[in-house]
Structure 1
Amino acid sequence: MRVRRGHRPRGAIACVAVAGVEIGYFPLAQVGLLPVQGVSGAATVLLALALVGCAARMWAVPARAHSSGAAAIVLGVLSYPFANLGGFLVGMLLALVGGALAVAWRPPTVQAAGSGG
């Protein structure tokens, strides 16, 4: 089944994807220092990848955006202690807002065939 334009939670996808990029930017800015950062750097990169994965799942399976949004909220909260205060609070807030938008979004209803609309 083809998903038409406007049938995806675009605002939620954008917020969650930008949150993942923002949280992952600082540890990956100098990849040579990643081993020095240790477990904290690895946790930050994994959280960032998981957020980008949530955004990709929202894009690919918009009918299940609410579960990806809930995961983005949990990851946003986890980013506060594990990822440089959630990407200096900006990434965490973007993940929380994007996750809330995804949880609140519902796919448009399909009109019955032959309803003339």
Structure 2
Amino acid sequence: MLMSGRARSALRRRRVSRPFSGGLLLALGGTEILLTERASLKVIVHIGMQGLAGYLLPVVMLLCGLLILFSPAQRLFYSIVGVLVSLGTWLTSNLGGFLIGLLLGVTGSCLAFGWLPDQEPRRRLLRRRRAESPTVDPAAP
């Protein structure tokens, strides 16, 4: 099902106005770790130090990812909590969801932490700098 041009532009504006990729990766990391917890016992490396913490930390990752998406003003707090919880899943949840969920969570948290709402998109900034900079003639003294 294809999206109309109006819906596509609305989604693009929403994606640019918030740390979309960071929140999405953090939420996907939490979901992946939760899904590896539900695997059969033959697949699971270890359940973790305590069974409850193995389920609690990925749920917190998922919630932090969603809160980053829906409340970008507090993204710094949620991204710090997200990276700490993601690193904590190394001990509690199948080595962080076989490293995939751990890496998704840490990457998403770092992207959300580094997102700047007032920064102009890079392509426009580079075009403007190229247009404003005078051309230098290498043959000129």
Q: Which amino acid aligns with 1:60?
A: F
Structure 2: which 5+ runs fail to align? 1-12, 41-46, 120-141
TM-score, normalised on structure 2?
0.64
Residue 9 (1) aligns with residue 16 (2) = no
Partner of 1:55: 65
Alignment of 1:1-117 (within 5 A): 5=14, 6-29=16-39, 40-108=50-118
- Would you say the 8 A contact 1:44–1:82 is kept in 2? yes
Q: Which amino acid aligns with 2:26?
A: V
TM-score, normalised on structure 1?
0.76
CA RMSD of aligned residues (A): 1.9
Question: 4+ runs of 1 displaced by more than 4 Å?
Answer: none
After superposition, the C-alpha distances for 1:17-39 in whole angstroms (9 at most, x for unaligned) are 11000011122346xxxxxx586
> Structure 2 CA distance, aligned partners of 1:81 and 1:38?
6
Closer/same/farther in 2, CA of residues 64 and 25 from structure 1, 3 Å limit: same
Report the alpha carbon displacement of residue 67 of structure 1 after superposing the two structures with TM.
1.2
- Would you say the 8 A contact 1:47–1:79 is kept in 2? yes
Q: Which amino acid aligns with 1:15?
A: L
Structure 1: which 5+ runs fail to align? 31-36, 110-117
Partner of 1:115: none
Q: Over alpha carbons, which structure has the higher Rg?
A: 2
Comparing both structures, which one devotes a greater share of its residues to helix?
Answer: 1
Secondary structure at 2:34's aligned position in 1? helix
